[in-house]
Structures are given as C-alpha cells and as structure tokens.
Amino acid sequence: MDSAQFRKAAHAAIDEIINYYDTIGERRVVSEVEPGYLRKILPDGPPQEGEKWEDIQKDIEAKIMPGLTHWQHPNFMAWFPASSTYPGMLGELYSSAFTTAAFNWLCSPAVTELETVVLDWLAKLLNLPASFLSSGEGGGVVQGSASEAIVTVMVAARDKYLRESTAHLEGAEREIAIAEKRGRLVALGSEMAHSSTQKAALIAGTRFRAIPAGLEDNFGLTGKNFREIVDQCLLEGLEPFYLTASLGTTATCAVDNFGEIAEVLRDHPAIWVHVDAAYAGAALVCEEYQQLTHYMDNFDSFDMNMHKWLLTNFDASCLFVKRRRHLIDALSVTPSYLRNEFSDSGLVTDYRDWQIPLGRRFRALKIWFVMRTYGVEGLKNHIRNTVKLGELFCSMIQSRPDLFKVLTPPAFALTVLCVVPHSKSPASASVPQPKAAREAYSNSFTPDATSQALIDSNLLTKQVYEAVNSRAEIFVTGVVVKGTYAIRVVSANPKAEEKYIRRAFEILVEVAEEVRNQVGG
Ligand code: PLP
C-alpha cells in the first residue's frame, strides 16, 4: 500500500468507524454467533496475491461485525466499561504510525518524557500524595493492564522483602536464607479482590491467602480481618509480604478500609500494600472522592485503568509507585546491547526497568490527547454524570421492593441487585428445575447459601439475568457475592444516558415479572 492508497483507505476506514459510532445503538449489543463461526467463512490460508483495501474493508461488516459484542454500545452495562473516544483513537493512530519500541529513553526521548509528564499530571489530578510524583522518589508508568501492574509490583515487593529481611546476612548464608524464605512468602488480598492478585502470586511463585471481606461497606476489607490473617500466617511460620487493597472491587465496588489497613501496617511495616483502583480510581478526579487518597502515603503503589472509566482507549493502566528504585532493583537486567551513555548517566528514565516486557508502545499520546480534549472539567463531568445515572438507576430499582432488592448501596455508577421471590408463593415451590440441578447450582455458586429463601432468590436472579442477556437489548453481568447471586448494572459507558438507563430498568422489570410468573412465584 503506497501513500496515495493509504490516504484513500484511511479516509474510507475513518468514515466507516464514524458511521459505526453514530449508529451503534441500532445494533444488537451482544454477538449471536456460534463458536467457530469465523473459521467456517474464512479461507484456509492467506491469499497468494495481495487484495485491494476495498475488498478487505468489506469483510469488516460482513465477517467481523457479526462476531463483535459492542462494548461502546450505550446498552453495554456489563463488567466495567472499556472506554473509547475519538481523541483516544487518534492517540492510538499516531502511536501506531510512529511505532517506536521505546524501552529506553534513547529509543525515542519523546515517548519516555511525555509518559513521565502526563503521569505526573494524572497523579496530581487523582490527588495522590507528592511521594508518587517523579519529582521525588516515585513516579508513574503506563502498563497494559491492572493485572500486569499487580504482577509487576508483586515481584518488586517480593524482592524488596527478601533483600531487606536478609540484609544482616552475607554471602552463602544470605543466599540460603533467601531460598528458604521464598517458600514461606504469602501474598494477601481480600476474597473480593480481583482474581489478578491470585494469578500474580502464581506467576511470582508465592503462596496466596484470601482474607474474608467485611460484611459492611459493600464487603470491603477491614483492618481486623487483615490483622487476623497476618497473625495466622506468622503463627504458621509463613511470611506475609504483600497485600492488594481494593479501591472499588469488581463485584460491588467496595473500598477496603484504608485507615484500618494503615493502622495494621504500623505493626507490620514490611508488607507492601498495592492499591488496586482499576476501575473506580477514575472517580478520584472529582474532589468529592478525594478523601479516599487520605491514607495513600502509607502504601507503596497504586494503579488505575484510564481505559475503563476515564475516556481513554485500551490500554492505559497507570501504575504509580512511591519508590521507583524498588521496581528498578527487581526488574533491571542490562546486557551490553541495552547500555548507552544516557542510561549510564542516570539522568534519564528507562521504562523497561519498570515493567515486565522490554518493548513498549507510545501509550502516553492518547492520555495526553484525552486530557487536553476533555480538560479536567470534562473528565469530572463524565464521572459525575455517570455516577448520577447509577444513582437514578438504583432509585428506580428501589422503587420496586416487591420485585428487587439492592444488595449493596450504589457505588461508582454500579448497582448490584437481586430479584425477590414472590412473598406469598416462594419461587422455589415451582422452579422448574430438577432437585439435583438446583443442588449442583447451590453447591457450585452459593457455598454460603444456607437458607431456602436465599437459594430461591439465587435461582430466580440467575434466571432473570440469563433471560435479560438472551433478549440482548441490554448486556449485564451476573455475580456471586458471599453466596448471594446478583446482577450488576454499570452506567459508566461513555455513551450512557438517562433514556438508556430508564429502558434498562423497564427491561429488568418486564423480564423479572415474566420469569417470576413462569416459575409461579
Ligand atoms: N482489578 C479490578 C478491581 C478489576 O475490576 C479488574 C477488571 O475488571 C482488574 C483488576 C483487572 O483488570 P485488567 O483487565 O486491566 O487486568
């Protein structure tokens, strides 16, 4: 493809993308294809001779669109959003055009320097303490995902712990002590923390213990439960070295009790605390949420995904650390071909030492474009509007206590609800499911379910969830919270509007009534 052909193709592609965004609401939000659909309609191998762009482009609508679930659809209310905006896309386009695998400053100084600048902007915007800024001993780095950020900091935490806890030893004695300690290391996270902490422990080669969540505050982690597990680990001869504290858990957007966690750290200062704010961290751009950063100076690292709620295209997971040297100590390996005078001078940042891969994309561009296009006020407005929509949705759900129960108070544009079996005639009485299937369901999904009422509600809620998604007008997520099956509805999509939220409520009511009538409840 030469320049003239690229110009023509790019214009056609941009036109098609704009049209897609303008009409996305007319599409079915969830794909209907069967597994393996694409293999059946694509040839066995690539063409021998190159094809014209016009022919390739046609296959977007014909072959790819049917297999897409439209995350940018205003009725996409599942999981957490993956934001996409035009400035974010432009950032991706330029990044792709420049394609600089900028692992070291020397590779392309602008890539490194823009990242440092925009992440300092973001740290200030999120009200993180000054210790997380690059002007001190900290700094930010863009990672691909919150999971990647957790692995990265867990490795740094592990090495710091092993280094510092054996600092009084030398030579072979130290090596042996480190080897012995490795087998005793435990990473911690609340049972409601995202599974990426458990996965990170797998990768880092440490044990993992889940801490029971509290029953208040949307099931956040309490200091008491944290302390009990730490004490228990120590009693067993294990060495807790790391905790993921959540600012917005996946299931209910709980915020762990940071004040109490900080209190426990006074007795256990060697434990590295990482704050996983993957989704809800975006809310910190608004002053009314900034009290959540009050204890942040007690913690070691913080990560939030601009690509979830802050209008930036995937991927833009922004990791901040209080002491960058801990990342560099753990992750810096410098063969001769990566050495250069600038790195040796110590005057530049080489982000390869702050992450797992070597090469990296120019992700700071899209963050810069988004911040400049929306401005701070635009970002705040987006958060506030979508939070308000969540509150509106929750109030609608609460207006039908005969049909729904809100499981946890609305938080960060998320509503978590259950369907209530009919009070006079328990849904369980005529749920058309064999006993064995019901037991299998309650065993696999509701380990804490003890009462028949809970089992009834769980079955009904799951049926409603499945019926809502199979209608495919809106797309929501089912979740099990401490044995209770619930439906999560998120109103944080960049295209979210009141009319869509109202329609989502109507659909839930229609489906819940329909399912309840069917099961005789
Ligand atoms: N942490 C929380 C609280 C999440 O909700 C998620 C995903 O939704 C993650 C971490 C993992 O995010 P990522 O896909 O960026 O790895």
468-488: pLDDT as tens digits: 999 999 999 999 999 999 999
Res 320 pLDDT > 60: yes
At 425 the pLDDT is 45
Portions of the chain given CATH number 3.90.1150.170:
372-518
Residue nearest atom 14 of ligand 1, based on CA coordinates: 145
359: three-class secondary structure by DSSP: coil
Q: Determine the atom of ligand 1 nearest the C-alpha atom of 248.
A: 3
DSSP-assigned beta bridge partners for residue 81: none
Q: Is the CB of 196 under 6 A from ligand 1?
A: yes
Burial (CB < 10 A; 0-12, 13-18, 19+), residue 375, is exposed
411: three-class secondary structure by DSSP: strand
CA-CA distances (angstroms) from residue 79 to 83, 190, 229, 292? Answer: 12, 19, 29, 23
Question: In angstroms, how far is the first alpha carbon of the chain from the final one?
Answer: 63
> Which backbone phi and psi does 302 adopt, to 5 degrees?
-150, 140
The number of angstroms, rounded, from the C-alpha of 285 to the middle of its chain's C-alpha atoms is: 17
ipTM associated with this complex: 0.98
How many A from CA of 178 to the centre of ligand 1? 31
Could you tell which of 154, 244, 250 is best to mutate to test the pocket of ligand 1, judged by most ligand atoms within 8 Å of the CB? 250
CB-CB contact of 191 with 211 (8 Å): yes
Query: Percentage of residues in the chain with pLDDT exceeding 90?
Result: 87
> Which backbone phi and psi does 47 adopt, to 5 degrees?
-70, 150
- Please provide the CATH number assigned to the domain covering 372-518: 3.90.1150.170
Could you tell which of 76, 79, 147 is best to mutate to test the pocket of ligand 1, judged by most ligand atoms within 8 Å of the CB? 147
| Average per-residue pLDDT for the chain | 93
What is the Cα–Cα distance from 416 to 437, expressed in whole angstroms? Answer: 25
At 298 the pLDDT is 98
Res 113 pLDDT > 60: yes
Res 521 pLDDT > 90: no
318: three-class secondary structure by DSSP: strand
> Which backbone phi and psi does 432 adopt, to 5 degrees?
-80, 60
Residues 234-271 have pLDDT tens digits of: 999 999 999 999 999 999 999 999 999 999 999 999 99
Q: Which amino acid is at 131?
A: S
Residues 61-92 have pLDDT tens digits of: 999 999 999 999 999 999 999 999 999 999 99
At 260 the pLDDT is 97
290: three-class secondary structure by DSSP: helix
Res 437 pLDDT > 70: no
CB-CB contact of 482 with 210 (8 Å): no
Which pTM value belongs to this model? 0.93
Q: How many CB atoms lie within 10 A of CB 63?
A: 13
At 217 the pLDDT is 74
Q: Within 13 Å and on the Cβ side, how many CA atoms surround 110?
A: 8
At 431 the pLDDT is 30
DSSP state of 34: P
Residues 328-373 have pLDDT tens digits of: 999 998 888 888 887 877 788 999 999 999 999 999 999 999 999 9
**Rounded mean pLDDT of 32-57?**
97
Q: Which amino acid is at 411?
A: A
Portions of the chain given CATH number 3.40.640.10:
100-360
CATH topology of domain 100-360: Aspartate Aminotransferase; domain 2 (3.40.640)
Q: Determine the atom of ligand 1 nearest the C-alpha atom of 317.
A: 15
Residue 450 banded pLDDT, cuts 50, 70, 90: low
Q: Identify the residue with better confidence: 52 or 520.
A: 52
Q: Is the CB of 160 under 6 A from ligand 1?
A: no
Residues near 272 by Cβ (< 8 Å), separated by ≥ 6?
153, 156, 157, 160, 161, 241, 242, 243, 300, 301
